Structure 1
Amino acid sequence: MSMQIFSTFENNIFLEIAISNLEKIGIKRENIYAVPLDHREETRKIFDTLHRSDGISLIDIAMPLATASSVITASLGFELKWGPIYWGLIGAVGGFMIGLAVRLLIVLITNRKTQQLKGKQSEVVLIIECEEEKGELVEKILWEHLAIGLAKVME
């Protein structure tokens, strides 16, 4: 009975050594497939949608700044012509706009840098077709040569 083993690797020398060791135990070169993965290169979106969120909040600076500035301007409004309510609202809107502008500036500056994933990245998918008897040995070789992940499919 035949089986397929799928594994992912970083693109380094351990992948080449693993392929060489698989050939040494009798797996033909035609039964080993190495497929490189393409990585996403699009930039992050600033505004979230209903179906996708990147976890960055644009109002996390704006809301506290709006609150603080509305309290300050409302207390100053007792001595100004329009009174504390109007000046409190003016301060809230102004503080919110300043906080939003600061946060947008921070996001746009950090968005220029390339965002890399933390930890190991899969760069190559290795697919091996072998007999079921050799499956355990193939799996052992792949784990010894730093496979990131592994899956088996019986045919």
Structure 2
Amino acid sequence: MQIYATLENNIYVEMAIATLEKNGIPKTSIYAVPLDNRKEDRKLFDGLHKSDGTSLIDIGIALATAFSVIGTSIGFELAWGPICWGLIFALIGFVLGVAIRLFTEKVFKKRKRLLKGKHPEVILIIDCEKSTTALVENILWEHFALGIAKVK
């Protein structure tokens, strides 16, 4: 029987392997595979078939609405009239809102992601007898396994 487990790449992986060896699982039956982290940054603009859930135009739409109301009310006293000035102010508000959103996504969210950090994970593959499956599972859970799967 094979048991697959994912763990964060820290001292608990070594402790889990040592505990498994102490409980009779031979070293040749334990296989550890470290996973690589993503090297490239996420794309800022969404594609047609995938989205990250953040919108770049939400602040732009809100500011376009607010600025168009202000532009329309000012436009009653200006030469081009309320419609033209409302559209001009709406465009200015939209561009300003998108610029604010781009700035926050590029600067503040990037800093937050860098501070948070992502730790690489390790996949442990353990060959064991069916009678020791419960023991191996308990050892892995005690050493903070993220997930466990069994294959017969």
Give 5+ residue unaligned stretches, structure 2.
none
Number of aligned residue pairs: give it: 152
SS in 2 for 1:128: strand
Alpha-carbon shift at residue 111 of structure 1 (Å): 5.3
Higher helix share: 2
> Which residue of structure 1 lines up, in the alignment, with residue 10 of structure 2?
12
Query: Equivalents in 2 of 1:131, 1:83: separation in Å?
Result: 84
Q: Does 1:110 align with 2:108?
A: yes
Report deviation, 1:132.
Answer: 0.7
Equivalent-residue separation in structure 2 for 1:35 and 1:89 (angstroms): 58
Q: Which amino acid in 1 is paired with 2:20?
A: L
The AA in structure 1 aligned to 2:98 is L
Q: Classify the secondary structure of the residue corresponding to 2:57.
A: coil
Structure 2 SS opposite 1:88: helix
For 1:41, the equivalent position in structure 2 comes to: 39
Letter in 2 for 1:86: C
d(CA) in 1 for partners of 2:33, 2:115: 20
The C-alpha deviation readout for 1:18-46, integer Å capped at 9, x for no partner, is 11121122211111001111111211212
Task: Specify every segment of 5 or more residues in structure 1 that has no aligned partner in the other structure, as ranges.
Answer: none
SS at match of 2:111: coil
Cα RMSD after superposing both structures: 2.2
Alignment of 1:61-100 (within 5 A): 61-100=59-98
- Structure 2 Cα separation of the partners of residues 114 and 94 of structure 1: 29
**1:27 aligned counterpart, secondary structure:** coil
Quick check: 2:9–2:119 contact (8 Å CA) kept in 1? no
Question: Is the partner of 1:113 in helix, strand or coil?
Answer: helix
The percentage of counterpart residues that share the same residue type is 59
Cα deviation digits, residues 93-126 of structure 1 (max 9, x gap): 11111111221122221354372697x8561111
TM, length-normalised to structure 1: 0.88
Distance in 2 between the 1:63 and 1:106 partners?
16
Partners of 1:29 and 1:138 lie apart in 2 by: 14
d(CA) in 1 for partners of 2:113, 2:39: 9
Give the secondary-structure state (helix, strand or coil) at the position aligned to 2:128.
Answer: strand
- Which one-letter code corresponds to 1:123 in the other structure? E
Is the CA contact 2:25–2:128 (under 8 Å) kept in the aligned structure 1? yes
Pairwise CA distance, 1:11:
2.0
